[in-house]
Amino acid sequence: MEGVLNAVDVNAAGPLRLVQILLAHLLAAPDPIIINVTSRLGSLAAQASGTFADLNTSYAYKISKAAQNMLTIALAQDLQGRVRCWAVHPGKLATDMGQADASKDPRIAAAELRELVESGDRTSPRFCSLGEADLA
Ligand SMILES: NC(=O)c1ccc[n+]([C@@H]2O[C@H](COP(=O)([O-])OP(=O)(O)OC[C@H]3O[C@@H](n4cnc5c(N)ncnc54)[C@H](OP(=O)(O)O)[C@@H]3O)[C@@H](O)[C@H]2O)c1
């Protein structure tokens, strides 16, 4: 239980705290965007359909990333027309946190994210998967 609450604190409340602190600066910026780094594993639709049933992922991670996705939606609705809000799944990155099959270089994800932001897409909220088709 402690792990679930800690993950929600870090992955959902953490980004909200950051937005609260930065909001005045975001609203004063020329083309502000909030990007929450989410995970395909936080997608309710994908999880409900069993897409990742073969992956061993903690309740804490799945619950906290789903909560973060709802935060992105809530922020997008509140800040509609003023700040774009996206949830971005970076791909299966070869980092300490990655799954066993993760092999993508984080530098590639960073370049893809930059390209996506610079594309000027005004959709908000948006759930993006870098280098793959977007998830629902
Ligand atoms: N790797 C993937 O395949 C993948 C896929 C989808 C989404 N993501 C997301 O991408 C983001 C970055 O992950 P990464 O793959 O780059 O992993 P990473 O290299 O292992 O980095 C994870 C970071 O999170 C910090 N962290 C971990 N637990 C924390 C806690 N309880 N409180 C505060 N900070 C904590 C770590 O801090 P320390 O360095 O101090 O430990 C580290 O800086 C995460 O939001 C992850 O969910 C990753």
Q: Is 98 in the pocket of ligand 1 (CB under 6 A)?
A: yes
Question: Which residues contact residue 52 at a Cβ distance below 8 angstroms, ignoring those fewer than 6 apart?
Answer: 40, 41, 46
Q: Is 97 in the pocket of ligand 1 (CB under 6 A)?
A: yes
Report d(CA 62, CA 43) in Å as an integer.
8
Is the pLDDT assigned to residue 102 strictly greater than 90?
Answer: no
Per-residue pLDDT band for 100 (boundaries 50, 70, 90) equals confident
Q: For ligand 1, what atom is nearest to the CA of residue 61?
A: 47
Q: For ligand 1, what atom is nearest to the CA of residue 10?
A: 32
Give the pLDDT of residue 97.
Answer: 87
Question: Which residues contact residue 64 at a Cβ distance below 8 angstroms, ignoring those fewer than 6 apart?
Answer: 4, 7, 8, 10, 11, 12, 42
Domain 2-129: assigned CATH number = 3.40.50.720
φ, ψ for residue 127 (rounded to 5)?
-110, 105
Give 59 or 133, the one with higher predicted confidence: 59
Q: Is 92 in the pocket of ligand 1 (CB under 6 A)?
A: yes
Alpha carbon nearest to ligand 1 atom 11, residue: 37
Give the pLDDT of residue 99.
Answer: 80
Give the pLDDT of residue 53.
Answer: 92
CA-closest candidate to residue 35, choices 116, 131, 133:
116
